[in-house]
Structure 1
């Protein structure tokens, strides 16, 4: 009887230690992790996958394009983000569908073995079905060994699944924000990847990725950094449409050339006028000196 009571007490204490986390035993919280081929898509034609996306991604009603996988925005006001989206709504949406997608995660799980990255893999099999980015053995090795290559390919693969209409003329953008780096990496490096499959639109957003990462690394609050990045992406869309997709040209504007030409003409004219006036004055002085010399000579001749 005593032995039975002892085991009941031990079990009860173990249950209490497990429930009251952070007081007696700080048990690690399991972070949900998805591969690029598993994460549900917001633009899927299957209703069950759309429902899964809304549940898994902790989506807010006015921010359907943002997947907050690890609930990092739960206790934060997202008014600044919603305001930035509303400001650029005309270019961030087409026919009610978003041209921008954001995945916000705490960490990503990078594979540690080459055998895990195969065409038959449930986690990474879709990487081998992208025609524009073939998974060569060298790329697979970098995918496993380099966190930068891993997050880049992860973003590209997720983009293909989230925006499955490659023939739509409007460019699309996917941003993946990893706050604490790769699982198992003690450095916990924050990274931001901004990707588009439109080569004409890429020059317009090439600097946004670096600016967003620097903002987070410098301690800018998450909501503020996301709102500022969305605002920059919206401005990039507007500039892209204003230029009709033409690449940016960093040239001197025509008005500057005209102003420089007028300035050069005025300088040359001023130099010419100055030269003419000075020359006339010198010539006048010389002629006056010549008259005085002649007068002196004539008087001398008269005396003698």
Structure 2
């Protein structure tokens, strides 16, 4: 086992017999996460919006790990109809689920809404995953060592607040603010879910990838002169996925913890336990967000 300061994918314990569902697993961090779990024996379900890209991702995983078991599940987190359909299918196929990795996300998109009229970042990054977790949780609860891992971001500190007076940014729109709100919501959700799980077999954990060179960067619209700089600072998807993989598999992980890169302002490096903003630990904020999320999605959890 590596020292805790140099935890890598080779430190993932055997995952044989475990079912791992990874959202947004057809590219970037999600694909790197799925690939590492499959390589250690997990049956990985790629829960993806674009099933053609999903098939290519599955082929890439099995080319690298010929014995891997990989299946596809259509999932559009921007549609509660799709989330419910995916949850029904997954619950029927997998009576026991070991890992749910809420990885998919959008970053700094132009102003858009989901099928249900939610602002895109909040609707996809938070509400879609909130609903999916609530609908799948009863298949995780009886499973010893099961985990819900939700991917947040250092962006949860930047212009971040939960705008209860205008959650969907209908009055004004800030790409940075909307993303910050969604990533703060990911942490408030994780910590509140852990409190509600209490003595359950399942734990809720969060992670963030630091600065990773993935498709998420496409909406940054930086001048081309910045491209070499991003290339120098940003780490590979394989490195960016390590905090998620550690949160998902390290036997020493406890519920309510948060993992991120250990170097250079948490932008890069090997995964370690990190802290989050004081706002993310606000109990009243978390409870209010939970109640609003239940109302907006129509999903209630079988805990707490």
Q: Does TM, normalized by the shorter one, top 0.5?
A: no
Question: TM-score scaled by structure 1?
Answer: 0.30
Comparing both chains, which one has the higher relative contact order based on Cα–Cα distances under 8 Å and sequence gaps of 6 or more?
2
Structure showing the higher strand proportion among its residues: 2
